[in-house]
Structure 1
């Protein structure tokens, strides 16, 4: 005797009954809307905090030379510190580093970090302390110092109401310290006592560069309010002072 056919349930009737086409269409539209909004949310947040990595490597020789002058000698920079904006896709964006000396880039920080490691190796060799473990220690110390600078700048901007800065911008601004640090270590290789003059000077220059850059980021590129301006000035001064122990700690090679 053949088994009886199962009776369709209420849910099956809903999906396969006369009105099933309308329900399927509604579910499909809802799914597309949900996925579209989720994708748009993810893309907006990724671009908001991470930006486009290729943007930070759009540089040329002229930009690198001029940018190094601004980083190492910020007192001589007579131009403005604001970035050049342009409309892209119906929203406001900024020109890449090749066309704007005030734009952050990652080429100089990575090259300066590599130069720092190479010069640290030469210094260890002249001191008779060159070992793979010593180089690895300097590499790790450099990464830790870079990370501390990023966290410090992020926390400082957040405390002053400017927390919507892309992460890669902060990575770039923080990594510029290796340019001045490499110059100080190179001077030490030529004359040991010049290190004690170059490190304070490079720390001061980096502090001035960061203060002027963070003031621009705080008041021009983010929606941070201008309340508590006195407190903000103290925070910026503290940021400049922090560069001195950070430079001495990273530059103390072989200790």
Structure 2
């Protein structure tokens, strides 16, 4: 009896010891004939319990198509937005036309400034055309440009600051007022010319940019007058400004005459005779306004 109780106690102890070790520690468990590869190449063979690398691979496979789709959709939106912006911007600011007006080189700038200061010996004032399109300014000195007016406007502001500084009257506020005043008068001049052309019903190929270019050429003479005043006093200022005013008057007359009177030949004799006088008066008024603005914007800079 005691032997049976002792053997039963040993058997229960052995079973409890086996349960504590667990099934994985039992070396007598038969190994599988084939490894379980359903979980992918990173599985450990323990029934596919190691799923971490598999989840990462699935996420990568799913994220690549989504990222490509998002990139394609984003590029499509960007191209559509650029197209819409270009259309709306070109409606108010013709970028393609502005490129034409800035197509200049050093040789053209030198010739154009010489023509603005000495226009008396120049004979051919017509703009050259190529396939019904005016050639770029660098190929024809008669073509209007915006490079010289823009640079002349900036240089005029700098020269005005220099003149005010030599008289101990310089301040950022005064220089800002000088720049804004010159810009406002330029806008008023262009709007007045556009209104006059509309009232006179002149059919011309002059554009608003052309008028800005022609009105901006007077800054070259203004710079010459102020520099002469700084170097030689009031006498030098008046002599240089008088020469430049006469030069810009001749330049505007000979240039605008071809632009404003270009459509006169297509009209009848009676209409052409009546409108020619109005067009000539308008041309002379535009040309005569240039010396007035030149004096008005520079006389207070020289003392």
TM-score norm. by structure 1 comes to 0.73
Kindly indicate whether structure 1 or structure 2 has the higher relative contact order, using CA contacts under 8 Å at least 6 residues apart.
1
TM-fit CA distance, 1:160:
5.5
Distance 2:162 2:172 in 1: 12
- 2:115 is aligned to 70
Cα-Cα RMSD? 2.8
- The match for 1:197 among 210, 214, 239 is 239
Specify whether residues 54 and 224 from structure 1 end up closer, same or farther in structure 2 by C-alpha distance, changes over 3 A only: farther
TM-fit CA distance, 1:184:
0.8
Specify whether residues 107 and 149 from structure 1 end up closer, same or farther in structure 2 by C-alpha distance, changes over 3 A only: same
- 2:203 is aligned to 162
- The match for 1:119 among 142, 149, 159 is 159
C-alpha contact 1:164 1:222 (8 A) present in aligned 2: no
Mapped pair 1:82 → 2:122:
no
TM-score norm. by structure 2 comes to 0.62
Mapped pair 1:234 → 2:295:
no
Count of residues in correspondence between the two structures:
209
Mapped pair 1:209 → 2:254:
no
Distance 1:60 1:221 in 2: 32
Distance 1:148 1:209 in 2: 21
Specify whether residues 114 and 223 from structure 1 end up closer, same or farther in structure 2 by C-alpha distance, changes over 3 A only: farther
Q: What runs of 5+ residues in structure 2 fail to find an aligned partner?
A: 1-83
Distance 2:286 2:100 in 1: 27
C-alpha contact 1:57 1:107 (8 A) present in aligned 2: yes
- 2:290 is aligned to 243
C-alpha contact 1:72 1:202 (8 A) present in aligned 2: yes
TM-fit CA distance, 1:229:
1.8
TM-fit CA distance, 1:50:
8.0
- The match for 1:133 among 166, 173, 196 is 173
C-alpha contact 1:207 1:240 (8 A) present in aligned 2: yes
Mapped pair 1:252 → 2:287:
no
C-alpha contact 1:165 1:222 (8 A) present in aligned 2: no
Distance 2:252 2:154 in 1: 21
Deviations 1:78-128 (Å, cap 9, x if unpaired)?
3x11111111xxxx2110001111111111001100110110011001111
- 2:214 is aligned to 173
C-alpha contact 2:248 2:291 (8 A) present in aligned 1: no
- 1:52 is aligned to 97
- 2:147 is aligned to 107
